[in-house]
Structures are given as C-alpha cells and as structure tokens.
Structure 1
Amino acid sequence: MAYQNFVQNIGIDEGSKQITNMLIQLKQEYDEVGVIGFSVGATMSWLCSESNLCNFVIGCYGSRIRDYINRSPVCPTLLIFPAEEQTFDVDSLINSLEQKREPLLEIKKFYGVHGFMNPFSQTFNKESADQAFQTISDFLEKQLANY
C-alpha cells in the first residue's frame, strides 16, 4: 500500500527532485552529506549516487534499481539486497551491476526477502539484519574515517 501511494502521489522522478533539493540545502550547511534509503528510497539513493552532492550512498533492497542499471556512482555506494525478491531476479541484477566494474560500488546480498532488515516486518530476519547493519556500520566507518 505504501509503495502504491508513493507511485500515485510522488513517483521516483519527483521524489528524486525532492531529495536533490534537500541535498543542495544540506551541502550549504555541511561539508559531508550521505544518503541512505530503503526499498523505493534505495532506488532514489542509487540515483543520487551520480550526483556530486553526496559523499556516500547506501541503498537497501532497491528493487527498482533494475530500471536504472546504466547509472554510474561518483561517490562510494553500498547496495544491499536480499537473497530473494518476488518481483525480479536478484542475482541477475547483481550480476549486471558487477559486470559494469564500478570502482565506487560495493554490493552485498543477505539471506532473506524484501524487508529483512525491518523488525516490524513479517519478513524480518534478525541474523541477516544484524549482518547487514554491521556491513553498513563498517562502510560508514570507512567513509567517515577521513573526516
């Protein structure tokens, strides 16, 4: 329901514009700005990875990234996927992204399905969520070590 509401009332293009406007404002106040998104937010985060407005991007289970496969990150980018998705072939998407050999892109896959990191979801998987959050923590530590 939340996704349908988003598609009908905002959409990826408008949502990306809103995030870009927010990033422009944040960059006026902060030297370093990063974006993290989940689900459709992960797809919009992926789109932000092409912008010089971000110092890092994290996207978790962004299934619509498959519609924007030709993007090339200009900042360190971490994408996290579940082992299974109902709407697309995760391994095929990961393979397509890895074939691009983007030096700033890191991709991780964890056991579970869409929403496995959300403790309020029926698909929550504590072990995979803990591993994914540790991966995010390590990624952030590496990115922020220079600041």
Structure 2
Amino acid sequence: MRWLIVSDIFGHTPELESWCARLPGEAQIVQPYSTQPPRFADDHAAYAHFTVHSDIERFAARVLDGVKRFQPQRVVGFSAGGAAAWLAACSDSFSARQLLCFYPGQVRHYLNKQPQVPCELIFAAHEAHFDVQAVMAKLSHLAGVKVRDCAYAHGFMNPLSAGFDACAETYFTDYLCN
C-alpha cells in the first residue's frame, strides 16, 4: 500500500514520521510549507504561521503534485491538510483511489465541490468556528462521500495539538490499517 499523508499546519514533524511508520506499506508526507517550520508552542502559533506562509489552495496544489509524483492508493489528510486533500480530490488529475480526512474543517468553504474518488471525512465533536452537524449534512448528499463525527477534539491525531487524545489516535490508526 502506498500512502500520501497530508500534514496539518504543524508540518512534517518527527511525530508525524513516527506515526507514518505504523502504517502498512510506504508513506510519503506532504506539508503546506516548502521548508519545515520551527517547532510551535501551541496550535495558535502554528495557525498564525500557516496563515502567513500558506493557504488551502496552495496546499491543495502541493497535494496534487504529491499524488502525481508518488502515485499513492490512499491519501490521508489532517485538519488544513484534510481540506487541501479534499480540494485536490475534486480535481480531474487526482489519481489516488481513496481519501480519508480527519477534522477537515476548512472544507466548509468548498461545499460546492465534488471529489473524484470515495472520501471519508471524520469531524471533531465540536468546532469553534462552525456548526459541525450543518457542514456534515451538506456533505452527506455528495456521491461517494461518507461523513461522521466522533467524540474527540480537533487535533486528536496529533500529539503536538491541545486536542490530542492517545486512545483516539490508536483507534483511528488501527481503523486505517485494517
């Protein structure tokens, strides 16, 4: 199995590399930056850096380039990386077979898009800036799109995030691997 992992706004971190090593097969990481940013003190510092140095559209272009170069079967995106992967999957040139996104809140700005491959979007229980259930309801009508929420906070898969939950991370890693 070939995986393209689309990082969140923390970028290509040692923690993400360690997580990728648990996946069966070969994984490649795409991040929103041309070089790895410094370690962030918290989610707010990471977000501030992202808003200055990238955006979802530029990140989506990086995802499409990664798909073209690496030819993965599965693409997994986290947070802004999930939204960028979603936007990339709506392109005719997206050649992966499947997309899974964790807490991709920014997809709320792209609800008029239709992905070209089967997608599963797993939302956090709550988001401060939008109504998760309303976004899920709009996305659930799209062909090939499966949406669900979970009981965890935004960032539950990233040990660097305030929302990290080790049990959730283990559960969803096993979910991906089986």
The TM-score bracket by the shorter chain reads 0.7 to 0.9
Secondary structure at the aligned position of 1:4 is classed as: helix
Where does residue 153 of structure 2 map in the other structure? 113
- Partners in 2 of 1:25 and 1:119 — Cα distance? 28
Give the Å deviation of 1:54: 1.9
Bigger Cα displacement from structure 2, 11-20 vs 63-72: 11-20
- Partners in 1 of 2:161 and 2:51 — Cα distance? 21
- % same residue: 27
What TM-score, normalized by structure 1, do the two folds share? 0.78
CA root-mean-square deviation = 1.9
Give the Å deviation of 1:57: 1.0
Secondary structure at the aligned position of 1:123 is classed as: coil
- Partners in 2 of 1:121 and 1:17 — Cα distance? 25
Q: Unmatched 5+ residue regions in structure 2?
A: 1-44
Answer 1 or 2: higher relative contact order, Cα 8 Å, separation at least 6. 2
Give the Å deviation of 1:112: 1.9
Give the Å deviation of 1:122: 2.9
Q: Deviations over 1:57-79 (max 9, x none)?
A: 11111111000011112112111
Secondary structure at the aligned position of 2:151 is classed as: strand
Pair 1:66-2:98 in alignment: no
Alignment of 1:1-147 (within 5 A): 1-27=45-71, 32-51=72-91, 52-98=94-140, 100-102=141-143, 104-138=144-178
Which structure shows the higher helix fraction? 1
Size of the aligned set, in residue pairs, is: 132
Taking a change above 3 Å as real, the CA distance of residues 57 and 5 of structure 1, as seen in their structure-2 partners, is same
